[in-house]
Chains A and B, each alone.
Chain A
Amino acid sequence: MAETSNLLKVTQEKDVKVVEFTNNKIIDEANISEIEQILVALIDEKAQPKLLLDFATVDHLSSAALGMLININNRIKLKNGQLRLTNIKPQIYEVFVITQLNKLFKILPTRPAAAASFS
């Protein structure tokens, strides 16, 4: 069953929570904070959370959004969980390359590839 907010759509695929961004911008501090709260709640639900973030709709993000993603990654790592990012548009992927966060995050080109990469 899908859980939705104004900013995210969350579905379950096997033992993976799949999160789609419903807004094309992850910029506003208030929105970033709300997204973070929802993701933290999803992480807290499971002993070893598996989270797949689908960026298909995202056209813009800011350094504050990157900070939020790093916090989410750190929280998941603390619980020995797994985080995957997918469907990142080339323009947005360049932001990850410039900041070298493409080395920190596991980024897969498609959702099936990302889903298959969970162990």
Chain B
Amino acid sequence: MPLRITIPSDFVAGREAQKRILDEVIRAGFNSRDTFAIKLSLEEALVNAIKHGNRHDKKKMVHVSASITAKKCEISVEDEGLGFVRKCVPDPTADENIDKCSGRGILLMESYMDEVKWTKNGRRVKLVKNNVEGG
């Protein structure tokens, strides 16, 4: 059964949701490298949803679902904000952006996960990591 967690736009609540999911990831047998990748990507997705999506509005919720097996970890994070267009986000590694303080969360998610898919006008992100050693 997938894990479904709805939290307010609050980093403490985000941290608790993150811990529940990571406990499942470890229990499913993902190695430390993959667990690091999932932890980092989930952190970035939750921060994006709370900070950029819901803009810290505590009346708006973040909906998290996770389906974790020995072979695959699939996590969705959805906010109640205005969404965004992925291709309009500037490349943080470009020379003109390299010393700017923000914009690296999406790059990290897309680098560390096997699949990152934005839907609902950018309000929902699906993160997938395959466990090549699993099952």
Interface residues of A (CB under 8 A from B): 27-30, 60, 62-64, 66-68, 70-71, 73-74, 91, 95, 98-101, 103-104
Given contacts A28-B11, A104-B99, contact A60 B39 (CB under 8 A): yes
- Determine how close the nearest CB of chain B comes to the CB of A30; give it in whole angstroms: 8
Q: Which residues of A contact B108 (CB under 8 A)?
A: 63, 95, 98-99
| B36 and A60 form a contact (CB under 8 A) | yes
Q: Which residue of B lies closest to A95 (CB)?
A: B108
Q: Which residues of A contact B59 (CB under 8 A)?
A: none
Q: Which residue of B lies closest to A70 (CB)?
A: B101
CA of A66 to CA of B101 in the docked complex: distance in angstroms?
7
- Determine how close the nearest CB of chain A comes to the CB of B23; give it in whole angstroms: 16
Q: A interface, by DSSP: helix, strand, loop or mixed?
A: helix
In the complex, per-residue mask of B81-124: 1 if CB is within 8 Å of any chain A CB, else 0: 00000000000110000111111110110011000000000000
| B98 and A101 form a contact (CB under 8 A) | yes
**Chain B, interface size: which category?**
20 to 34
- Determine how close the nearest CB of chain B comes to the CB of A100; give it in whole angstroms: 4
The yes or no answer to B74 lying at the interface (CB within 8 A) is no
Q: Which residues of B contact A63 (CB under 8 A)?
A: 44, 47, 102-105, 108
| B99 and A99 form a contact (CB under 8 A) | no
- Determine how close the nearest CB of chain A comes to the CB of B38; give it in whole angstroms: 12
Beta-carbon contacts under 8 Å, B47-93 to A: 47, 92-93
| B36 and A99 form a contact (CB under 8 A) | no
| A62 and B43 form a contact (CB under 8 A) | yes
CA of A9 to CA of B98 in the docked complex: distance in angstroms?
28
Q: Which residue of B lies closest to A100 (CB)?
A: B93
The yes or no answer to B7 lying at the interface (CB within 8 A) is no
CA of A74 to CA of B98 in the docked complex: distance in angstroms?
11
| B111 and A74 form a contact (CB under 8 A) | no
Beta-carbon contacts under 8 Å, B7-54 to A: 11, 15, 33, 36, 39-40, 43-44, 47
| A99 and B11 form a contact (CB under 8 A) | no
| A91 and B44 form a contact (CB under 8 A) | no
| A70 and B107 form a contact (CB under 8 A) | no
Given contacts A60-B36, A95-B108, contact A73 B11 (CB under 8 A): no
Given contacts A29-B11, A63-B105, A70-B101, contact A98 B43 (CB under 8 A): no
Q: Which residues of B contact A103 (CB under 8 A)?
A: 98
